[in-house]
A and B are shown apart, each in its own frame.
Chain A
């Protein structure tokens, strides 16, 4: 082979790997859209399931997922951002902080079903919250913590050190420096981490399995101590537990869930891009 041919072959092979990487997700999206789009209409999105879930819509599950995601945000964001600020700005490098970092890395690697069982033991039984939105949101929040802490700490550390030094030299306290010179510039990264974490939480089944999710509950929850339906679990139920379930409803449900999770990622990307463009340095 001539050098040009080698070049062309290499280029072709490398492009091929990129295509192979993208292909599955494109196929999944196309397949789910093609099969599910027919089921999507106003009634599907706003009505509860009827007739043993073989008719009607998914509204209680959709609303449940939205509430759980918001609950996860409330539970996880303050704690995760606080921890990230502590690790990046206050904690030095010592045995204690190294242990914390190790714990965070390990938390991120724990299978989600383990979080589910932990949530059952801790929130449902020990704290006696029962199978409830509160227990579910706390469990999902716990699972989201490591992702958000790591990305937020990363974002805080990318803010140039000179800004901190200049701020100190101008008589700003440590907190003023963090508040005015660090957090505003770390915000795009922090928000990206939060959204990606929430996106994952919105699509998880295992953590809500024992802590909040109802098999079939057409009434909407009235308080955070109520159970609720949720999309991922609902999808699992109608795909495996209900005989004679119309395929279009299954794929329609999958499509809505996919749409929610992907739009989280999309929003994260847009925020990051816009805020990066506005950055001055």
Chain B
């Protein structure tokens, strides 16, 4: 009798479980069948009417029934969960091509970008990065660099003066002198900095611009070392395939002096609009430290030799990033700056 009841309960429950479509219904079934007032529980309550010796057998039957129902519930629940998950996943499909949400980061100035490349190359070779004042004594800007009084380069039309002795530096080369006064060789340094020339603002001129000065002093420094160093620099800055050319030139504070051209990094030297058909682009001035400059700053030219170089930061930035108007560098239009 009980056995029949049980199998009926199980089969009915199974039927309900199989046909249910959500987990709440499963829960109702669980309560209705297995709960405190559930069908199975009421059968257990009727155990007291079962003869003592049959009770274990009946108990086992009830347990089997419970297990069967629980298994069915569990199985169905898993199936429902899987179904629900797959529904949710398909419901939650997004259009991955919609625009990204990004933190809007700021951008470096092209000068800074160029300088950080240059700085990286030279600090990697053991150069120290130093600086000097923008407002400088005539002595450091001219005289100690072998540009004596009366030299045309000192003419007012090129140099901004504060008074007879104090001026806005026209070159970073004065830092060479300050460093030689400050420390003993060996010295390897670069000195980026702001310089000033009395040029009206136009597409290729600015009264304010930046240079990077470099200087090496040690025993036995040769012109060939200068060539090696700067060729290495050019290859790192513009690419391994870059070729360099040193042309004789004149600067009062170096002797011999040279200008360095690099093969055009746009056309590789074939000649293009960018290098004006030359295949070469002038990049920097350099030379062996003039013995007079060394001795004026307290370095014995019979014991030490050295080389120095200077390049225009804006020139590098304009070339590297193909900027065709220098004025853009100082306008600070965010549409320009955000490209770097």
Q: Are A and B a genuine interacting pair, yes or no?
A: no
- B contact set with A: CB distance below 8 Å: none
